[in-house]
Amino acid sequence: MNNQDEKNLKKRYFVWLYKTAKEAFDKYERKFTQLDIDNDILAEMEKELLGVYLPHEKDALQRQINDFQRYIDDKEKACAELRDQDKKINPEFIFSEMKLDAIEKVITREIGKKGLEEIKSLYEKEMFQRIIKSTEPH
């Protein structure tokens, strides 16, 4: 095996390591990010509701907005339970972040910051492709 073959094997392993660690970390982190976005969307809808709608329209829309608020409240409670266990931070949550940080440091040390950025970009492309594919009509 020549030097380039060995570099390629390492890089493929780094891609796999990063992907699996990032997916584990994102399992926790995405829920918190979604909450921020959901709350922003709710605030925009509530502003819109104050606008030009007729009273009978506002009542029906307010029920929908209230349902969305309950959805956000339920998600927020689930996030707290996911992150906190008996008032302590979930060790799996901490470990997933530690592991991802360690993998990023080793990748940077082995193949450079540019290599890490390339791996991150590949991961993001795959995630976008999964989202698009999962929402395509069948």
pLDDT digits (tens, 9 = 90+) for 67-126: 999 999 999 888 877 777 666 777 888 899 999 999 999 999 999 999 999 999 999 999
Residue 57 CB contacts under 8 Å (≥ 6 apart), including other chains: none
d(CA 41, CA 31): 15
d(CA 77, CA 117): 34
Give the mean model confidence (pLDDT) for residues 5-23: 93
Alpha helices in the chain (DSSP H): 3-49, 55-83, 91-135
How crowded is the C-beta side of 106, counted as CA atoms within 13 Å?
13
The whole model's pTM is what?
0.76
Instruction: Specify the residue for token string 């979604």.
Output: 34
Contact 25, 97 (CB under 8 A): yes
